[in-house]
Amino acid sequence: MAQSRSRETKRALLQAATALWRTKGFADTTVADICQAAGVSKALFYFYFPRKEDALFEAGVLSTAEARHTVREATAGPYDLATVIHDVLAALERAMRRTPPELLVEATLEGHRAEHRALAEGRAEEHRASRYLFLDLFERAQADAELPSHIDVLGLARTAQTLLEAGTRHWAAGEYGDRSFTETVTRDITALIIGHSRLAADAAPDATSA
């Protein structure tokens, strides 16, 4: 029961924070504003989040829930990896369209800062699953022989995340013009996979020469 209440309180804080960020902006929203909107004390906020930026990062993680659900559904049966990537990015774009552009930019930058903190604190392993959106998909694809067995899926997921976040910032800044976020980033990540697969194949030992 207490654990359930704790989850609800944390969710209420994130919902209040997100609503304020969308109307007031991230920089102009204080922790006191968030606590007043959620009806909790500042001490309780800091129990869950050491800094306002930590709440932003966690809200960003939660905003990928639809995309992660898409992965689970799409890989429940036979699937095409490029199609799953496209569908995941389309789900992410739907969530992004509900978020002010400046907040999207701030969230991607905070993702980088959170990654550096996790590395410095020796928490890289626990941080990976939430940080790299495509890691679970690539691991599943490798297990299903949709990706070569000798490819470095963690490195692939890390680079794909870089392309995703750069694409998010460019899209939020209006730099894509009439181009679709989903189509553009799908193309970039698919090209990345092809390149990694070819390089890994070239570097792999030739089993027939053993």
pLDDT tens sequence across 151-187: 999 999 999 999 999 999 999 999 999 999 999 999 9
Q: For 150, which DSSP code?
A: T
Task: Over range 3-19, report the average pLDDT.
Answer: 87
pLDDT at 210: 42
Instruction: Please state which of the ranges 21-35, 102-116, 117-131 shows the lowest mean pLDDT.
Output: 117-131
Residue 43 scores a pLDDT above 90: yes
In terms of phi and psi (left: phi > 0; alpha: psi -120 to 50; beta: otherwise), the region of 187 is: alpha
pLDDT at 65: 77
Q: Tokens for 92?
A: 């992410």
pLDDT at 2: 63
Topology of domain 1-50, per CATH?
Arc Repressor Mutant, subunit A (1.10.10)
Calculate what percentage of the chain has a pLDDT beyond 70. Answer: 89
> Could you tell me the pLDDT band of residue 126, with boundaries at 50, 70 and 90?
low
Closest CA to 152 of 75, 89, 204, 209: 204
pLDDT at 199: 80
Residue 113 scores a pLDDT above 50: yes
9, 35 Cβ separation under 8 angstroms: no
Residue 138 scores a pLDDT above 60: yes
pTM over cut 0.95: no
Q: Tokens for 51?
A: 């800094």
pLDDT at 169: 92
CA distance 70 to 64: 10
21, 103 Cβ separation under 8 angstroms: yes
Q: Tokens for 110?
A: 């905070």
